[in-house]
Structure formats: structure tokens, C-alpha cells
Structure 1
Amino acid sequence: MADTPLFPAIGAPAPDFAMPASKGRQVSLAAMKGRPFVLYFYPKASTPGCTTEACDFQEALAALGGTGLPVIGVSRDSMKAIDNFATKQNLAFPLASDATGTVTEAYGVWVEKTLYGRKYMGIERATFLIDADGRVAHVWRNVKVPGHVADVMQAASRLSAPGQ
């Protein structure tokens, strides 16, 4: 897997998706039509970095809601693991299960990783800001959790500013 994964380009249509999500919800690109939203990918539920990122998004929901921006988190975890994670962290936004890997591959976040010299496939932590027309407005790759949600909020405020 020497090739760099292909992320959707800024300005390109967001890849389609439809997935089951926490609390018995369903999420899809079609359901988000006409409003901007944040789609973020995280490697594994209930791990330290993913918990911090989810809690940061949860804390920012009031501000993100003020911009009209829903948040959807995506991993390849089972619905049981996702529901447990969402319940334990009291997350109001949906966490979706891409059990088939179709969505993580379409967004270019299913990549080869290395840990202690061992190579394996996993989700690259990444976030996509999708505009009201269903186009990719901003992409954050190889996300470092500290300060990331603040960066997303800043970009979101520019996206939803009058005249944008």
C-alpha cells in the first residue's frame, strides 16, 4: 500500500454514505442535504485519543449548533461498541458504524499504519467539513486531537458566515 490514499478534493462532491448510528439512528449524505456538517473519522471507540476527540466535539456542540453544523463520528467498530462508547461518554451527536468499510475507503481514510514496527490497516484520524451543497469544504488529515475541534469551529464559522 505505498500509494497515498485519495481523499475527496476540496470542492468535490462528498462521497455518498448511509450507516447505522448510535441510539438507533441512521445517518446519510441524503439526510444532510441542504445543510453543512462535520464528518469525522476516528480509529477505535473507547480509546484515549478517540474519547478525548469525541468529548471535545461534544463540548463544542453548542457553538457548532450555533453555526447550524451537526457532527457525525465514524469508525469501523461494531454498533455494540459504538453504543457503549456513546452512552458512557454521554454523546448527543451520532456515532456511525462503517462495518463494511465502504465509507472509510470512499473518504480515503482506510490506510496502512505502523505500530512498533508492525504494519496493519486502520483508520487515519481525519475530519471533513461538508457544505450545504454536499461538497467538501475543508479536510483535516492525520489529525492531532489537541486544538483540532477549535480549528474545525473556526473553519465552520467562516463557512456559515454571510456571503460565503
Structure 2
Amino acid sequence: MNRAISWGLPLLMLAVYLYLAVVLGRQLSALADGLPPFDLRVFGYDLHETRAYLRALHPDGYVLYQGPIFWTDTVFAPLMGLCLVWWMRPLRGAFGMVCVLVAMSYVAFDWGENMWVLRLLGSGPDWLALRDVAGASAFTSAKFAVFALAAVLAARQSLARRRG
């Protein structure tokens, strides 16, 4: 069973990610004059950048972002979170609880980001509220920060399992 999870879960997560990034991401990039989507802006974005992106985004890009990309990313986040938790095992004591909390925080921030981005897309470039841009940007940056921490914890635990 461990082997099935060790290989199957990451392969499933990778397949969903490749579909999201390569297939859908290329389509979205072409529909946004090559600008990176909100989900990939590690350090967030401001009102000006948000307006520029939404103005560049073709109407078909709005449909793609609000539909297939939203739903695929909604599936991807918990798959990544489960992979991180799996790589962080054994989950013992307070440290194990911290590991699970960090991995699940990644999922929560990614899902929160998705909801904020839907608000931005629904508003359009001319009716953006600064609080919506700030909220979306904060969730995007937090997602990447928590992911970095989770990756470090997963690497630490993986090395500890190899040594022990």
C-alpha cells in the first residue's frame, strides 16, 4: 500500500498539474498577451497590474479562467497538500501536527486565492475594488510562502526517513 501511495499520489498530482500548467496555462497565456496569471505571481500584484491583466485578457480567457482553470486548480490543491503530508511522515507529536497544519494551510490559501481571483474576474478591470485586489494578492503570496515552508519540512522529513 505504501508503494501505491508513494508513486500513485504524486503521479496523479503531477498529471493534474501538467494539465493545469501546460495545457490550460498555455491557452490562458495566449489569451492574455503572454502576461502571467494571478496564480503564478509569487510576490503578488497591485491594482495597476490587476487592471492591466484583466484588460489584456480576451473574453475567452475569462471563461477559461473561471471554468476549467478554477476547477482544475481546485482539484490540484488538495492533491498537492496530500503529497506534502505524505512526504512529511512520520507525523508524530507536535512537530507532526505542525507539518499537517502547514500542508493544509497551503490548500486553504490556494482555495482562498481561487475565490478572490473569481471576484477579480467577475469585477472586470473598471470596477475593481482595492480590497479585492489586496485580498487576492495576499492569498497568492501566502500560498507561495506556505508552500516553501511545506517543501522544506517535507524535504527534512524525507531525509530523516532515509537516514533512519
Could you say which TM-score interval applies, normalised by the shorter chain? under 0.3
Q: TM-score, normalised by structure 2?
A: 0.24
Greater helix proportion: 2
Larger Rg: 2
